[in-house]
Amino acid sequence: MKNKSINVKNERINNILKKMNEKNYDGMLLTQPNNIQYVSDYRPTSFAICILKENPIIFTTAMDKELACETSSIEVKDYKSISTLRDVFHNEKFKKIAIEGNLPINSYNRLLADELKKEIWELHVEDFLEKERMIKSEKEIKMIKKATDIAHKSFIELDIREKQESSVNDWEVAYELGYLMRSNGASEESFETIVATGSNSSLPHANLENKKLEDLILMDWGARYKGYCSDTSRTMINYNNEKQKEVFDIVLEAHHEAIKSLKAGELACNIDNIVRSVIDEYGYVENFIHSTGHSLGLDIHETPSISKRDKSILEENMIVTIEPGIYLEGEFGVRIEDTLIIKKNKSEVIGNLPYNI
């Protein structure tokens, strides 16, 4: 078995190496599957570890060796034991090593603890990958658009209003939507589909309860396509219920106001403030209990977040969600969410799924 392309430097790796060099790192360890996929195109299905250096290497087990060799643009070697990695560090005279913040503690202990006691290696948690992944390439944008198309097409095929009339339950709806997304090309859902009906909708992350659909249904779903995620929320209300319609209209107004201001150069926290200001005008700001949005890509939640604490400056080709919501405990909740590409002077909504369903 041979790699499709051995040690071909790509822009992503070069950018990360440049940041590493600025801080005098000898190498960086990657264990998070999405980070390994980001730099190599190989997505691990079992244990794998990547050492980023001038000539990067991925170590993988026999279980994943064939897949890794077929897909990785980085050289693949067999992982035999923890000593395999120790040997690389010693042979290349590593002294200062960057690690991910989510390096499993058991891997840290097995790999590095004894050496640290000897003061041979100096370790630092770095967010090089998280920052590099913030700006999406044209290929990544294409994948996210495709994932969104699959999710929206599947939702339309589901025909939630027909399901409502036929008195099915929340679990059946979630199951069928997952089936439709896979039938339309998704590898899986981006996350566990939320189908919250009646009073359950006041819980932003409500669990499925085999509950019959009532006159209000809040759904949050996404498809994963070639590793990339989509994320959409819609709330189907009873338009004859004045309170539901009032809250729906407020959330939709806040959603649209945020999108008007979403562009390169804006602070993430300012977009969150715009949403809260609109909701506050109507007296419901205490019922907006989560952030306005988040970035997504290979992970469903990435950096930056659209929240009151995130002072990141938004840049072109970041992809973020806008998802204001109002939740009235014990009554109902409304959330409306779209995914958007940030442009120089505006933002672009991915997809054209209606709001009034």
Among residues 254, 247, 245, the alpha carbon closest in space to that of 337 is found at: 254
The answer on pLDDT for 7 being more than 50 is no
Beta-carbon count within 10 A of 83 CB: 10
Of 9-18, 141-150, 172-181, 290-299, the range with the lowest mean pLDDT is 9-18
pLDDT at position 176 is 98
Cα(221)–Cα(160) distance, rounded to whole angstroms? 13
Among residues 80, 103, 87, 79, the alpha carbon closest in space to that of 29 is found at: 103
The answer on pLDDT for 103 being more than 90 is no
The answer on pLDDT for 289 being more than 60 is yes
The answer on pLDDT for 186 being more than 50 is yes
- The DSSP bridge pattern shows strands 57-60 and 75-78 to be parallel
Of 115-119, 225-229, 232-236, the range with the lowest mean pLDDT is 115-119
pLDDT at position 83 is 78
Contact criterion met (CB below 8 Å) for 333 and 196: yes
343 φ/ψ sector (left φ>0, alpha ψ -120 to 50, else beta): beta
- For residue 118, what pLDDT band results from cuts at 50, 70 and 90? low
- For residue 269, what pLDDT band results from cuts at 50, 70 and 90? very high
pLDDT at position 108 is 67
Q: Long-range contact list for 270-279, CB < 8 A, 24+ apart? A: 271/306, 271/314, 271/322, 272/306, 272/307, 272/308, 272/310, 273/308, 275/322, 275/324, 276/308, 278/250, 278/253, 278/254, 278/324, 279/250, 279/251, 279/254, 279/324, 279/326
The answer on pLDDT for 116 being more than 80 is no
pLDDT at position 5 is 43
Which sign does the torsion angle of CA 170, 171, 174, 180 carry?
negative
Number of H helices, E strands in the chain: 11, 19
pLDDT at position 121 is 73
Rounded average pLDDT over 349-356: 97
Rounded average pLDDT over 264-271: 98
Q: How far is CA 144 from CA 132, 232, 249, 320, in A?
A: 17, 12, 28, 11
The answer on pLDDT for 78 being more than 50 is yes
Q: Name the average pLDDT for the chain.
A: 92
Among residues 234, 255, 238, 248, the alpha carbon closest in space to that of 177 is found at: 234
Rounded average pLDDT over 36-64: 93
pLDDT at position 114 is 60
CA quadruple 107, 109, 114, 117: dihedral, nearest 10: 130
- For residue 173, what pLDDT band results from cuts at 50, 70 and 90? very high
pLDDT at position 87 is 84
Rounded average pLDDT over 198-213: 95
pLDDT at position 90 is 84
pLDDT at position 112 is 62
